[in-house]
Structure 1
Amino acid sequence: MSYDQLSNLESGRYTDDPVFRDLQYELKGKLQSLLTSNRKLANDVNVLGTKKDSPRLRERVNNAMEKTRHICQEIGEGVKKLQSWEELSKQQKYEQTKVSSDFQAALQEFQSLQRRALEKEKASVHAARVAHDGEPGHATSPSGGQQQEQLQMSAPLAVQDEVDFQEALIIEREEEIRNIEQGVGDLNVLFRQVAQIVDEQGEQLTSIADNIENVHDDTRHADVETRQAARYQKAARNKGCCLLLILAVIVTIVILAVVVG
């Protein structure tokens, strides 16, 4: 059954709760923000591991994921609060379920984006680690003399500085990977909770839809029976009018016969 059908059938019986309505609108606004964030994050994740990858891009991806996790946590708390509402109309129950299912889909999409980013980060760090471990700890040159001695003294220092710098970058990125893994784990718990809520609400919504469908069928049958009854009444009135007309003609003939006789 469509949303419009459900709304029409429930019109006139909807109990408007301003607190419920405000929370519902607030969650819808945050859901829209989550979907927008997912779209932007998907574009950046697609660039990870390509020639366009850069420290600035990875920083933007990690900041976006951190912000989006916060939005998911806020929506999750709101969905739990919305779920605790009691004595709702069928329309409100439908809205309650719709918010939960929409959040479940958006959260699943975000989790998928996090895992893709995690895989690409791990692959990139692994490649950097292999390259880093393969670098020499010192450098030599085949030339001789005083210049050779200076190079032998300065080259190891320069190489070591570069090695230390690369090591620091790798450690920083490994820390980012741990943060992503932690975020995925935290949201897995929330995802299971929302999935359970959606399953419970789905059973309720199915029952509501079946009941409304039955009401719709009963109303349609009642309308058909009412139309048939109206036709029968009209036919009965027509027959009554014909009988009265015939009776009037007979009475008139009798009266004329008596008067003439």
Structure 2
Amino acid sequence: RETPNYGSTEPRYSSLPTAHSPSRGPSSMQQFHQLYDSISSSIFSINNATVSLERGAKQLGTQADNRAFRDRIHATQQSTNDTIKATASQLGTLSSLASSGDKQLKLQSERLRNEFQDVVRRYSTIQKQVATRQKYTMALPSPRAGGEPTYGWGGEEKQPLIEADETQVQAQKQIIADLDHEHAILMEREERIREIEADVLDCNQIFKDLATLVHDQGGVIDTIASNIENTEYNTAEAVDQLRSASQYQAKARKKMCCLAIVVTIGAIVMALVLYFTLK
């Protein structure tokens, strides 16, 4: 299966690992609670990052907006994207652990998964707003460093076109410098736009993978439950057969006892007849 990158143009993320049904043991409950606490902490961190991005989006395009400010936004999104990916994987493991527990564990796992999906949806919405504002503010024209160039045409004295004085040479140099500056800015903007697009997380793909993971685990659980039901049925059938065999043996023993009694009585009668006859 191809590794999804959730909307990123950089292969930073790996696919959700396949979770196996955990063996029931004394450490399963402890592992469940440790994972639950870790996921809860991650959800809290994602929510804080969302608040920070929302506050940062309002400062884009203002005096506070500069390269360092946008680098911090980029770092926040990268870190949060990694946290979301890791948390989705942990939720898959938590769901698998809950499947071997009681109903209360399953409810806790489902509630935490819903909370995770809600906070990721909000984060994704804010992230798209940040990307839009970054693109919009980056599209604004930047002022030229040297101001408007003076081309040296006209004036009080007319000069021949073939004669280039010092003012015209400086003006041409300034034009070239301005063009180079604008080209460098354009290249930087394109690079930043690619970076912005790479930061935007495809939360729908994460939810899809998480749902597939939980569904696959549900299939394993259904198979286990079916095997348990078949075992219970076979056990009940075996008990019925043993009961029938026991009843058959009891009847057989009763018949044997009756036959033995009849034979004994017959033997006594024959003995008495012979005794009185010979006497």
TM-score normalised by the chain length of structure 2: 0.55
- What secondary structure, in the 3-state scheme, does the structure 1 residue paired with 2:43 have? helix
**2:204 aligned with 1:191:** no
Q: Is the 8 A contact 2:131 2:200 kept in 1?
A: no
**2:42 aligned with 1:26:** no
Cα drift, residue 115 of structure 1:
0.7
Q: Report what 1:253 is aligned to.
A: none
Cα drift, residue 108 of structure 1:
0.8
Within 5 Å, which residues of 2 pair with 1:9-24?
A: 17-24=29-36
Q: 2:124 aligns with which of 111, 115, 118?
A: 111
Identify unmatched segments of 5+ residues in structure 2: 1-26, 217-279
Cα drift, residue 53 of structure 1:
2.4
Q: Of the two, which has the highest radius of gyration?
A: 2
Give CA-to-partner distance per residue, 1:44-68, whole Å, 9 cap, x none: 1111133442222222211211111
**2:57 aligned with 1:42:** no
Identify unmatched segments of 5+ residues in structure 1: 1-14, 201-261
Q: 1:125 aligns with which of 123, 138, 142?
A: 138
Give CA-to-partner distance per residue, 1:113-170, whole Å, 9 cap, x none: 11101211222233338x89xx98x64135679xx82232223323332332333233
Cα drift, residue 43 of structure 1:
0.7
Q: Report what 2:186 is aligned to.
A: 170
Pick closer, same or farther for the CA change 1:151–1:64 going to 2, 3 Å: farther
**2:109 aligned with 1:96:** yes
Q: Is the 8 A contact 2:131 2:196 kept in 1?
A: yes
Pick closer, same or farther for the CA change 1:179–1:103 going to 2, 3 Å: same
Give CA-to-partner distance per residue, 1:212-241, whole Å, 9 cap, x none: xxxxxxxxxxxxxxxxxxxxxxxxxxxxxx
Would you tell me which structure has more helix in proportion to its own residues? 1
Q: Is the 8 A contact 1:108 1:191 kept in 2?
A: no
Q: Is the 8 A contact 1:23 1:82 kept in 2?
A: yes
Give CA-to-partner distance per residue, 1:100-121, whole Å, 9 cap, x none: 1111111111111111012112
Q: Is the 8 A contact 2:59 2:65 kept in 1?
A: yes
Q: 1:67 aligns with which of 76, 79, 82?
A: 79
Find the aligned partners of 1:192 and 1:93 in 2 and give their Cα distance.
Answer: 20
Q: 1:140 aligns with which of 146, 151, 161?
A: 151
Cα drift, residue 82 of structure 1:
1.6
Q: 2:175 aligns with which of 156, 159, 163?
A: 159
